[in-house]
Amino acid sequence: MDDANWFIGWPADVWSDPEALDASVRRLQLPESSRLMVGTDRHVTLAFLGRCGEQPARRAFDVATTAAAQMPARIRVDGTRWQLLGSARAPSAVSLLVRAQDNLLDTLIHGHRGSLCAAAAVTPDQRPPKPHVTVARLSRKLPRADRERLTGTLSGTGVAALSLTLDQLSLFTWTEQRDQRLFRRVASVPLGRSLQS
C-alpha cells in the first residue's frame, strides 16, 4: 500500500486487568457506528512517520532499535482519563490518556521522535507529547451533538483500574484488509539491555 501511514510505538498488549478495560469501554456507550480497536491494534505512539514509505520507515526503526535498548525493560503506565482526540473540528479518536512514573513516556517521546522522523526524512510533530491508547474510532459522519454527548460521558467515566506494562517497541503500518484490523506490526524489539541477546 503506497499510501499507507507508518509509525513507531509501544504495543499496548499487557494490561493488568483486561476485563476492567473492556468494561470501561462498554460504559462509554459508544455510538454503534464506532470502530473498536482491539488486540494488536492498540498501542502508544512514539513517532508518527506518515506516508514515508517502507524503506524510510525501516531506517527509522533501526534508530528506534538502538533507542529501545536504552529504555527500561518494562514501563508501567496508568490510565489518567478518557479524552476525544483528533482534529479540533471533528475529533474521532476515543483515547485513554496514560502516564508513567516521572512522566517517562513524555520524556521518551520528546527525546526520540525527532531523530526517528529525521531518519525517515519527515517533519516531526511539534506538539507537546500526549501519550495515549486509542480504543475506538468514531465515524466521520457522526453528528456534532453525538460527539458533544460522548465528550461528557468520557469526562465522567473513571479509569482507576486501567494500567498496562510496555515491554517492546514496534514498527506499525496499515493492514491490507482493514475490515478486521487497522494495523500490522512489521517489526518488533524488546525494551531494555537486559532483554538483548
What pLDDT digit, counting tens, does each position of 28-64 carry?
A: 999 999 999 988 899 999 999 999 999 999 999 999 9
DSSP string, 50-89: ES--HHHHHHHHHHHHHHHHHS-S-EEEEEEEEEEES-SS
Question: What local confidence, expressed as pLDDT, does residue 38 receive?
Answer: 82
Looking at the domain assignment, is residue 1 inside a domain? no
Backbone dihedral angles phi then psi of residue 114, each to the nearest 5 degrees: -65, -45
Please check whether residue 5 is in contact with residue 53, taking contact to mean a CB–CB distance below 8 angstroms: no
Is residue 73 included in any domain, yes or no?
A: yes
Helix (H, G, I), strand (E, B) or coil at 6: strand
Residue 144 placed within a domain = yes
Helix (H) or strand (E) holding 90: none
pTM of the model: 0.92
Decide if 97 contacts 132 (C-beta within 8 A): yes
C-alpha–C-alpha distance, residues 134 and 102, integer Å: 22
Does residue 119 sit in helix, strand or coil?
helix
Q: Is position 185 within any domain?
A: yes
Residue 61 lies in a domain: yes
Residue 86 lies in a domain: yes
Tens digit of each residue's pLDDT (9 = 90 or more) over 93-146: 999 999 999 999 999 999 999 999 999 999 999 999 999 999 999 998 999 899
CA 115 to chain centroid, in Å, comes to 19
- How many domains, the chain? 1
Going by C-alpha positions, the residue among 143, 161, 129, 141 that lies closest to residue 25 is 161
Residue 14 located in a structural domain: yes
Has residue 153 got a pLDDT over 50? yes
Looking up residue 50, the CATH number of its domain turns out to be: 3.90.1140.10
Per the domain annotation, does 19 fall within a domain? yes
pLDDT, one tens digit per residue, over 136-149 is: 999 989 998 999 99
The boundaries of the domain holding residue 107 are 6-195
